[in-house]
Structure 1
Amino acid sequence: MIDDQTVNAFDAAAGCGARLRQAREAAGLSLEAVGKDLRMPVQVVKSLEAEQWDRLGAPVFVRGQLRSYARLLRVDLGDALEQAHIGPVVPPQLVSHTHTPRARRIAESLGRRALYVGITAVLAVPVWFATRGHFDTGSSTPNTASLDVIPAAVPVTGGNEPANPATAAPATAAPASQPSAPYLASLTPVPRPAASAATPAATGGTLSLQFKGDSWVDISGPDGATVEKALIKSGESRSFSPGQVARMVLGNASAVEVQQGGAIVDLSPYQRANVARFTVSSDGSVAPVSH
């Protein structure tokens, strides 16, 4: 450090850098010692003495470094600091970002909405195409039918009896103008009566069938030939004399009333899953099918 009288020895016409260098040399300080005291790199101290302001950054930093250097050496730069071509200290211009023009807000809102619509379309369209088939098939209420009732368009034989296409086809053919609708089958089992509850078989007389619901039948004669094999509609009836038929299979048996000689025959001993199978002897008596 130097005393106050050292300043009087400096040339008043010298610039800021020259005055600082002369004061440092008069005080016997090296560049390293000044950089250590000011906590500045030695290169910055050299640039201050050489007045290389463009290497030191913004004017506000250059002026601050010069004042720190002058305080260390007790040098009054005076007018030299004002006359130095450092550049004015311009305060930063503050730009308000809190106000957004109304047109910009509207444009941003429309842009966000358009983005949402686009994303929704990208996600919804594939889902709609994937589920379109389910919507189309689910628009009509499906028909339901019990497994005990054989649909008219599907000739099915009961038990182990072989189907006879020659006799079944005319009775089961569906009109070509009416498309067949899908059926939902009910798997609910029909309770079977106990074997001990079987009633004695009816004997003698004409065997008559009254159909109170659609029923698929397979009726065979004593020689094994098919007497009738078809889907009989509700409201129809059939009558057979003794010795005309030998075996019967009745689908949807709960909708068929069987009478033997004017007496109603209980089909529960011969019924399984709403399908009744029984034999008819030559005298007209009804008996279970023997296996």
Structure 2
Amino acid sequence: MIDDQTVNALDAAAGCGARLRQAREAAGLTLEEVGQQLRMPMQVVKSLEDEQWERLGAPVFVRGQLRSYARLLKVDLGDALEQARIGAVVPPQLVSHTHTPRTRRIAESLGRKALYVGITAALVVPTYFTTRGFFDAGSPAPSTASLDVIPAAVPVAGGPASADTAPAPAAAPAGAVPATPNAPYVASLTAVPRPAAAAAPAPAGALNLQFTGDSWVDITAPDGSSVEKALIKSGETRSFSPGQVGRMVLGNASAVEVQQAGTIVDLSPYQRANVARFTVSSDGSVAPVSH
């Protein structure tokens, strides 16, 4: 016969998944019922009990799901959660350069300057010799008319040239330079304004996501196929047309801003334990997940 001390020892040796499974079976709940109460897919609940962490994404997301499951069943995972091989959340390592030796800093600075000089010389020297050969070829300079001098009228051949009989020059169009003998026509330098191209309008009812922090997402289409399931980094954005998304799960929901047709969506009605779950209708509107 197994006494209470032996049972407590077995419970302490069991992992997170085994404890959660035992508590669920003792409460008479099925995987489907737990998934509905936690708003998790049944496959996620089963993976938690089987301790298949690699199927659930980032370690911070897995630990959050385990804590939500434990709160539902009122189970204290205790040291089991700390000993679970989920993967620690490692903060970025900061490398200090305040103690870099002075000689090393000088050498690095000289190396960067030498590289800059070498690149500049490689670009400037060939260009100099190429343009020098072109100008040394002795090509005649083009004859151009000054933009500030109005030339005198040209006398008509075969007739006396006088101020009284010389025809008045025709009015030049605005922006053009009057023609002079042996001088080419010079076009106006006035820029012609062009209408700005209109920006393409966003589709009506578009669903836009702005990430201000890392977030694990699971986005599925209306037919159940996966649209995107990954850890999205801070600063990235996503945009979906109406009818493209059927259901959405956002980890670290407080770091995600959702906009529907340009209006910010309040995720608090769909959020639990910093995980938001909601459905998206064909017109892009957001609704709670139906049980």
TM range (shorter): 0.3 to 0.5
Q: What is the TM-score normalised by the length of structure 2?
A: 0.36
TM-score where L is the length of structure 1: 0.36
